[in-house]
A and B are shown apart, each in its own frame.
Chain A
Amino acid sequence: MSLDIASKVLDLVKAASPAAEAEVLVGGGELALTRFANSFIHQNVADASTAVRLRLHVDGRTAAGSATISGDSTTVDGEALGRLVERTVVAAGLAPPDPQWPGLAPAAEAPAVPPVDEATAHADPAERAARVRDFVAAAGGLETAGYCSTARVATAFANSAGMSASWVSALASIDGIARSGRNDGVARLASARLADLDGGRLGGRAAAKARALDDARELPPGRYEVVLEPTAVVDLLGNLAVWGFNGKALNEGRSFMELGAAQFDPSLSIVDDPFDPLGLGMAVDAEGTPKRRLAFVDAGVSAAVAHDRRSGAQSGAPSTGHALPGGAAFGAVPLALHLLPAEGPDASEVDGPGGRDQGGLGPMADSSVAALVSQVGRGLLVSDFWYTRVLDPRTLVMTGLTRNGVWLIEDGVIKAPVQNFRFTQSYPQALAPGAVLGIGTRSIGLPGDWEVMAYRAPALRLASWNFTGNPSG
């Protein structure tokens, strides 16, 4: 259906500007999010929409435009499509020259994405509310907050060079906290299957963490060995993706990446996997370049950066299929990163489908985290990071805070809860050769903050993390 709309737009472009190179991206679907706070649903939203984005290159000049539309391929508002084409053609005629135009993606076979889980794609408000109710109930009287979301996304791409693709994806997420006084415990999970998300189990885990934070004490800032739970590791992935793995940033000397160099610990591999059956599948990027599984870090070696057609052409490399809509100025970013877990028993098998005795794990997310904690002489267990911002993109020194639980580890066991820290830390340095002391055996899907996306990560044991402040300043 979306592909029909994309074809209609190409036809309109051909009629209005026969020589134009054109690409059309149609994205539609329904995003629904049930949000709770103070243990009740306070915001419950859904929207159903379709947006068309058109990019044109005519006579050496480039312009893009987008519009929301109503209707399907047979009832679509043809006038709205016509207006989009007309104003984009006019804009391309008036825009300054674009000598760096890299041309359209050539026709190619689009890869298949995993089949969509229909139950997730068509989940109703009652199903989301039921998971919220389970999360709240499992917290055992602690106040809770968070959300349960489901999304169905239908995407189509077509260009005037003959490339086309269409696919449907779905994703479900639960992200919630339980609150014991001012102490919050977190549980978070994303999956292509809503059925994978057990509100009760996640609520129980969040509550166990919150209760284990009572009487948290302040520790002095300084360098500590750390075990980062997956909910914290995903922040490293996000910032590596934006600042480090961005091919345009590397072209311009703003990224630390040196392709072929052993910049990371040899135990570390990070791949972009758009075909992960538990993630949000993607067939092609915003320029129509087919997606593929790509290692950015391969056994510690910096193996690739993300390119769109423009940044790829500037560096003499092909596009890696990571173009974002309207992303020419910022550059290409991978959206399906997976930090590969260590080999070993998956914690979900060890802990069983209902989770191991949650009291036995204390504040630890699962037995995979517990295995890493057991190896630490003295260090900190960190649940989550918050408000991380880059001080210098070249060094990728970040500042941010811990959130949702920190505990002191001594002699391999959780000793005491600790109040939150501020840190100022270079992420590449934290992952440098010799700095990664252990990787968890369980990798979980985690929702992104702003987009319909999910990264996957296991826990990490790192030799040193630079905490530069605590609640006293």
Chain B
Amino acid sequence: VTEFDAASAAVQAALDAGASYADARVMVRRAESMDARNGEIEELSQDEDAGIGVRALVGSGWGFFAVPDLSDAAARRAGARAAAIAAASATVPGPNAARVPAPAVSGSWASQCLVDPLAVPLSEKGDLLVNVTAAMKAAGADHAEGSYNIWDTRKWFVSSEGHRIDQHIRECGAGIAATVIGDGETQRRSYPSYRGQFGTRGWETVTELDLAAHAGRIAEEARALLTAPQCPAGTTTLILGSEQMALQIHESVGHAIELDRILGWEAAFAGTSWLDLAQLGSLRYGSELMNITIDPTIPGALGSFGFDDEGTPAAPRDAVRNGVWVGVLAGRDSAAVAGLDYGGSVRSDGWARLPMVRMTNVGLEPGPHTLDEMIAATDDGIYMDLNRSWSIDDRRLNFQFGCEIGWEIKNGKRGRMLRNPTYTGIGPQFWRSMDMLSSEVVAWGTPNCGKGQPGQVGHTGHPAAAARFTNVRVGVTG
């Protein structure tokens, strides 16, 4: 039984059990991770899972069932169970479950990969983490941590509308962090970001980071933060580095433009959105500099794929153009409810989870400035970078973010280091105050986006560049 055969059998069984539509995903995922601390390995794990998830529509009710068994009999039972669950859904019915058309596609896609990360010897990967964490420890870190993650996922998708798609997506990334313990507080510096940098690429992603070159610096900066002045409280001009901008985009734009949230489908958990579909195409989200795209076609970015998990081919789309909200992240069913004509942003966290609307690569187009130009153009402000904490309300309006490090800016120059920098604001007010944007875009990867019940972890990409905002409240403390 091939993977396509199993998926086809499951779909047919769901149809035989009364479904008007069904699709099935066979997914086989190999994952490897290693964690090191202070020059020793703490955890090495190699994990494999394989199974089939079947989605069935009966009347207006959806059902989903998944098993880790790719035999013909198990696939057929899964299809029938999905249909039975869908029938139970129909006892608390909603409106007709229409879907925007998606042409039946047969296709294959694979992410680019120069060096297969699972083929790199464990000893080589382990030595890298041992050496960089030992170097951070030697340079003054109380706790020096390093880690990498690799995911190798193969998918086979079949729908009752004729889709037949297979994909091979390889993702990996790594990061290091130095923590120091002070008098009743901790300080932390990370490289290249809070939990590392990730992409749909091979081990070259990690090699290019050159972790060793940054180990000593971040340990010394973490130590220096213990005696740095506290970030002052007040309202000021704020420059955010590109890594923190990726988080800002993720939380206050990416989640807000998820159509399932806008429609209330996530109201009880992840939340809704402050955006109103009646204002799509006219709402001023941010300043003229704000151009946000939804683009799963960016080579190597973490949110890239060839087809989403409903079989819709990847395609770029505007979300915010010249500061005006113009697009959403959608699936075939949510788009139909909203009267839109596109899906393309539905993914599942493995075979055992229902596909749902997720971010792909949601990021900023480059601006006309550089970080140095922004600092030079600022008389009085603060520059913050690398996320340390993040919190935003369930409508994606009221946020408060903490960064690892800040610097005061006086008369166009970077000045003293500041510790415990935080800033807070209301999404659209904040984005409308963006008056400078760098051209130095980095496609950051976020491998831990949580959503859904049961919980799913999504991998998303965020092209981002440093930007300047005015009249921002900073220095909130407990």
Are A44 and B88 in contact (CB-based, < 8 A)? yes
Check if A40 sits within 8 Å of B94, measured CB to CB: yes
CB distance from B51 to the nearest CB of A (A): 6
Which residues of B (449-478) have their CB < 8 Å from a CB of A?
A: 450, 453-455, 473, 476-478
Most buried by A among B45, B51, B268, B394: B268
Interface size on A, residues (CB 8 A): 98
Q: B478 contacts A471, CB within 8 Å?
A: no
What is the 8 Å Cβ interface bit string for chain A, positions 357-398, against chain B (1 contact, 0 not)? 000000000000000000000000000001111111111011
- 8 Å CB interface, B76-108 against A: 81, 84-95
Q: Are A389 and B390 CB-contacts (below 8 A) given A132-B92, A147-B268, A422-B400? A: yes
The answer for the CA separation of A393 and B420 in the assembled complex, in Å, is 12
Which residue of A41, A147, A400 has the most chain B CB atoms within 10 A of its CB atom?
A: A41
Pick the residue among A40, A51, A387, A422 that contacts B394 (CB under 8 A). A387
Q: Known: A70-B67, A401-B393, A424-B400. Is A100-B85 also a contact (CB below 8 A)? A: no
User: Does B444 count as interface, using CB distance less than 8 angstroms?
Assistant: no
Q: Is the CB of A391 within 8 A of B44?
A: no
Which A residues, 302 to 340, have Cβ-Cβ distances below 8 Å to chain B? Answer: 326, 328-329
Complex Cα gap A159–B416 (Å): 55
Q: A466 and B478: CB pair below 8 A?
A: yes
Partner of A400, one of B126, B391, B426: B391
**Most A-side CB within 10 Å, residue of B44, B91, B450, B453:** B44
- Expressed in whole angstroms, the Cα–Cα distance for A184 and B74 within the complex equals 42
Q: Are B43 and A326 in contact, with the CB atoms below 8 A?
A: yes
Inter-chain contact B130/A125, CB cutoff 8 Å: no
Given A31-B454, A399-B400, A425-B478, A40 and B93 contact (CB-CB distance below 8 Å) = yes
Chain B neighbourhood of A69, CB < 8 A? 68
Against A, the Cβ 8 Å flags (1 = close, 0 = not) of B256-268 are 0000000111111
User: How far apart sit A83 and B30, CA to CA, in the bound complex (Å)?
Assistant: 13
Partner pick for B35 among A97, A128, A328, A394, CB 8 A cutoff: A328
Task: Identify the interface centre among A64, A329, A450: most chain B CB within 10 Å of its CB.
Answer: A329
**Is A392 in contact with B420, judged by CB distance below 8 angstroms?**
yes
Q: Which of B143-163 contact A (CB under 8 A)?
A: 143, 145, 147
Once the chains are docked, how many angstroms separate the CA of A50 from the CA of B51? 11
Given A44-B88, A179-B267, A38:B94 Cβ within 8 A? yes
B271 partner residues in chain A, CB cutoff 8 A: 386
Contacts of B391 in A (CB 8 A): 387-389, 399-401, 422
Asked if A426 is at the interface (CB within 8 A of a chain B CB), the reply is: yes
Q: Which residues of B contact A84 (CB under 8 A)?
A: 48
- Contacts A129-B91, A387-B392; is A35 near B453 (CB within 8 Å)? yes
Shortest distance between the CB of B84 and any CB in chain A (Å): 7
In angstroms, Cα B424 to Cα A403, docked, is 18
Q: Chain B nearest CB: distance from A415 CB in Å?
A: 24
- Kindly list chain B residues whose C-beta atoms are within 8 Å of the C-beta of A146: 268
| Interface 0/1 of A121-134, CB less than 8 Å to B | 00011101110110
For B322, list chain A residues within 8 Å (CB): none
Contacts A95-B122, A252-B142 given; indicate if A42 touches B66 (C-beta within 8 A).
Answer: no
CA distance A46 to B77 in the complex (A): 13
* Structural contact, B88 and A129, CB atoms closer than 8 A: yes
Q: Check: A79 CB closer than 8 A to any chain B CB.
A: no
Q: Choose the segment among B180-188, B208-216, B278-286 that binds chain A (4+ C-beta atoms closer than 8 Å).
A: B180-188
What sequence of 0s and 1s flags, for each residue 393-418 of chain A, a beta carbon within 8 Å of any chain B beta carbon?
A: 11101111101000000000000000
Interface-located stretch among A13-21, A86-94, A278-286: A86-94
Is residue B411 within 8 Å, beta carbon to beta carbon, of the partner chain?
Answer: no
* A429→B454 CA distance, assembly (Å): 33
Q: CA–CA, A39 to B92, complex, Å?
A: 8
Tell me whether A43 and B62 are in contact in the complex, defined as CB-CB below 8 angstroms, given that A99-B40, A126-B91, A469-B400 are known contacts: yes
Whether A63 pairs with B420 at a CB distance below 8 angstroms is no
B394 touches A386 (CB 8 A): yes
Q: With an 8 A cutoff between CB atoms, is A98 at the interface?
A: yes
Bound-state CA distance A42–B62 (Å) is 6
Interface string of B383-425 (1 = CB under 8 A from A): 0000011111110011010100000000000000000101011
Is the pair B46, A87 in contact by a Cβ cutoff of 8 Å? yes
Question: For residue A63, which residue of chain B has the nearest CB?
Answer: B44
Interface presence of B352 (CB below 8 A): yes
CB <8 Å contact, B43 and A68: no
Q: Which residue of A lies closest to B88 (CB)?
A: A125
Least CB distance from A100 to B in Å reads 6
Q: Tell me how far the C-beta of A93 lies from the nearest C-beta in chain B, rounded to whole angstroms.
A: 9
Within 8 Å of chain A (Cβ to Cβ): is B121? yes
Q: What is the distance, in angstroms, from B131's C-beta to the closest C-beta of chain A?
A: 10
Does B16 sit within 8 A of A, measured CB to CB? no
Flag if B35 contacts A329 (CB, 8 Å): yes
Bound state CA distance, A67 and B46, in angstroms? 9
Q: How far is the CA of A251 from the CA of B44 in the complex (A)?
A: 22
Distance in angstroms between the alpha carbons of A231 and B175 in the assembled complex: 36
**In the assembled complex, how far is the CB of residue B75 from the closest CB belonging to chain A, in whole angstroms?**
11
Chain A residue nearest to B267 (CB atoms) is A145
Once A43-B62, A44-B64 are accepted as A-B contacts, the answer to whether A254 and B394 lie under 8 Å apart by CB is no
Which residues from A are CB-within-8-Å of B45? 63-66, 326
On chain A, the residues within 8 Å of B17 by CB distance are none
Contact of A70 among B44, B74, B179 (CB under 8 A): B74
B127 nearest in chain A by CB position? A96
Question: How far apart sit A26 and B165, CA to CA, in the bound complex (Å)?
Answer: 33
Which A residues lie within 8 Å of B122 (CB)? 91, 94-95
In whole angstroms, what is the CA distance A132 to B179 when docked? 47
Given the interface pairs A44-B61, A329-B42, A395-B184, the reply to whether A49 lies near B268 with Cβ below 8 Å is: no
Decide if A175 touches B268 in the complex (CB within 8 Å): yes
A34 touches B88 (CB 8 A): yes
Question: Is A71 close to B, CB under 8 A?
Answer: yes
| B55 to chain A: closest residue by CB | A45
Which residue in chain A gives the minimum CB-CB distance to B129? A96
Contact with B478, one of A46, A88, A426 (Cβ below 8 angstroms): A426
A129 / chain B contacts, CB cutoff of 8 Å: 88-89, 91-92
For A40, A88, A143, A326, which residue has the most chain B Cβ atoms within 10 angstroms?
A40
Instruction: Tell me whether A252 and B143 are in contact in the complex, defined as CB-CB below 8 angstroms, given that A43-B354, A391-B478, A473-B425 are known contacts.
Output: yes
* Pair A41/B61 contact, Cβ less than 8 Å: yes
A449 within 8 A of B: yes
Q: How far is the CA of A136 from the CA of B92 in the complex (A)?
A: 9
What's the Cα separation between A48 and B64 when bound, in Å? Answer: 11
Which of B46, B51, B265, B454 contacts A33, CB < 8 Å?
B454
Q: Are A62 and B92 in contact (CB under 8 A)?
A: no
Interface residue A204 (Cβ < 8 Å from any Cβ of B)? no
- The answer, among A70, A97, A387, for a CB contact under 8 Å with B393, is A387
B88 in contact with A128 (CB, 8 Å): yes
Determine whether the beta carbon of B67 is less than 8 Å from that of A48: yes
Distance, CA A177 to CA B270, complexed state (A): 12
A177 proximity list for chain B (CB < 8 A): 267-268
A residues in contact with B71, CB < 8 Å: 70
Alpha-carbon distance A46/B60, docked complex (angstroms): 18
> Is A420 located at the chain interface by the 8 A CB criterion?
yes
Q: For the complex, give the distance between the alpha carbons of A230 and B46 in Å.
A: 39
Task: Kindly list the 6 A-B residue pairs having the minimum CB-CB distance in the complex, ordered from nearest.
Answer: A40-B94, A125-B88, A70-B69, A397-B478, A329-B35, A68-B68
Interface residues, chain B, with chain A CB atoms under 8 Å away: 35-37, 40-51, 53, 60-71, 74, 81, 84-95, 121-123, 126-127, 130, 142-143, 145, 147, 179, 181, 184-186, 263-269, 271, 352-354, 356, 388-394, 397-398, 400, 402, 420, 422, 424-426, 429, 450, 453-455, 473, 476-478
Q: Can you list 6 A-B pairs, Cβ within 8 angstroms, ordered by A?
A: A42-B89, A46-B65, A64-B43, A67-B47, A329-B145, A394-B181
A interface list, Cβ under 8 A from B = 31, 33-51, 62-71, 83-84, 87-88, 91, 94-100, 124-126, 128-130, 132-133, 136, 143, 145-147, 149, 175-177, 179, 184, 252-254, 326, 328-329, 386-395, 397-401, 403, 420, 422, 424-426, 429, 449-451, 466, 468-469, 471-473
Known contacts A97-B40, A149-B454; can you find 5 more A-B pairs with CB under 8 A?
Answer: A47-B67, A48-B66, A399-B402, A449-B269, A450-B450
